Structure 1
Amino acid sequence: LEWNSGKVEGNVNRVKRIKRDGYGRAGFDLLRRQIILSD
């Protein structure tokens, strides 16, 4: 059985992008909300 971590890596990259976009103006609550809503 073959497996890869493509889906996990995609999620990690999405979270990193959201963190970069909100750097300096977003608190934890806003970042958390953006991560949940972007799924």
Structure 2
Amino acid sequence: MADKHKVFMQTGQIHINIFGILRRLNFFIQRHLYSPHIPANS
């Protein structure tokens, strides 16, 4: 039971990391979409 709980906690951390990355990507995509004068490679 303890092992299952440990695995659940680890997958929870992974999900949090994925959501953080997605939010950051979404922010960059929106900034580039709404600000076309900013070069995409910056």
- TM-score band by shorter chain is 0.5 to 0.7
More helix by share: 2
Q: Tell me, which stretches of 5 or more residues in structure 1 are unaligned?
A: 33-39
The answer on 1:8 being equivalent to 2:17 is: no
Determine which of 28, 31, 34 is the counterpart of 1:18. 31
Q: Tell me, which stretches of 5 or more residues in structure 2 are unaligned?
A: 1-9
- Can you list the C-alpha shifts for 1:1-39, whole angstroms capped at 9, x where unaligned? 11110000000000000011112xx142xx84xxxxxxx
Shift >3 Å, 4+ stretches:
none
Q: Calculate percent identity across the aligned residue pairs.
A: 4
Structure 2 length-normalised TM: 0.53
Of structures 1 and 2, the larger Rg is shown by: 2
Instruction: Give the paired residue count.
Output: 28
